[in-house]
Amino acid sequence: MDSLTHIVLGAAIGEAYLGKKIGRKAMLWGAVADTIPDFDVFASPCVSNAQQLLVHRGLTHSILFVTVISIILGILFKRWFKNADVSKREWTVLFLLGMFTHIIIDSFTSYGTGWFEPFSSYRVSFNSIFVADLFYTLPFLICVLIALIAKNSSSRRVKWNRFGLIMSSLYMLFTLCNKIYINHRMLDGLNKKHIVTSDFVTTPTPLNNILWTAYAADSTGYWFGYYSLFDKTNDINYYHVNKKDYLLKPFENDKEVKLLKRFSKGYYCMSTHDNAIYFNDIRFGQMGGWDKPDSAFVFSFKLNKNADNSMALNRSRFKTSFGDAFSSLIDRIKGR
């Protein structure tokens, strides 16, 4: 999830757990705790662009890291804040709650989270929410802000903070239930088109959980389709994108490409543009694919030598007008 979401969630957890003891400071330390796993971004200057993709949400998002760091911080915070009416155990639990919720909600997105690092490179990914979902974050943020400005230990503070936690948790549950429903609809759409597939994945489009995309693999590439909860018909229009694996032949022994394949879990296709070859991770969708099947992929890694891939995950936003893409997204969400 995005940084703002983690800060809001951490602040709410801090208030719920230690708010009565240390007041607003509980929100501060809760927000810090929920942000710690993302410190892996500081490793960026030390590794290649492809390696950074696997470093992010890797070891720092593991159960081992969260447990060990929480214990260490619990000991240190007890020493640093001797006068605070907070025990070493309570400091430890605060950091455990903050960091564990971080790695849990990150696993709901398509990026994947390395819960079992360094023992296993498997990444947990439920694909039920986009990395930034306005319906999850904004109502939660409002509740936490109201709690923040309320007086310490007031019933209003407790009520709004609790309401934010309950509402956000229910929304996460909704995304899982919604995914089950969407899977049924989109599989039915594939069967109606008599499309035979060896693999099938659904994931929500940017900023919402109403419009979803599905990609289904066959021997030459992927079938893409979109479905909105507001669609007036169940007739889903699927279009095909060739994988173009042959474009990878010159890079068979390239270490970066091997890392990209591992990161994408095999869900990729190749493309060319202006004499450059691009590795597209299809899990992140297309910027405007719901409107134009030939839209650029959100994740597009340039394979040419010395290429700058620091913004590979957002490259398409520089090729597309955000205003136009957002407008077409809203229209498609409405079922148009």
Unique residue bearing structure tokens 């021997």: 219
Query: 88, 71 in Cβ contact below 8 A?
Result: no
**pLDDT tens sequence across 50-102:** 999 999 999 999 999 999 999 999 999 999 998 889 999 999 999 999 999 99
Looking at residue 113, the DSSP 8-state letter turns out to be B
The string over 72-88, giving b where at least 16 C-beta atoms fall within 10 Å of a residue's C-beta and e elsewhere, is ebbeebbeeeeeeebee
pLDDT of residue 318: 47
Q: How far is CA 307 from the centre of its chain?
A: 25
pLDDT band at 222 (very low <50, low <70, confident <90, very high): very high
- In the sheet that 199-204 helps form, which strands lie side by side, from edge to edge? 199-204, 211-217, 221-228, 239-242
Q: How many C-beta atoms surround the C-beta of residue 153 within 10 A?
A: 11
- Alpha-carbon Rg for the chain in angstroms: 22
**Percent of the residues in the chain that have a pLDDT greater than 90, as a whole number:** 83
Q: How many C-beta atoms surround the C-beta of residue 295 within 10 A?
A: 18
Query: 226, 290 in Cβ contact below 8 A?
Result: yes
For residue 172, give both structure tokens: 């996460």
pLDDT of residue 320: 58
Q: Report d(CA 152, CA 230) in Å as an integer.
A: 43
**pLDDT tens sequence across 308-328:** 887 777 665 545 566 778 899
For residue 92, give both structure tokens: 């430890």
**Percent of the residues in the chain that have a pLDDT greater than 70, as a whole number:** 97
Average pLDDT over residues 222-231: 97
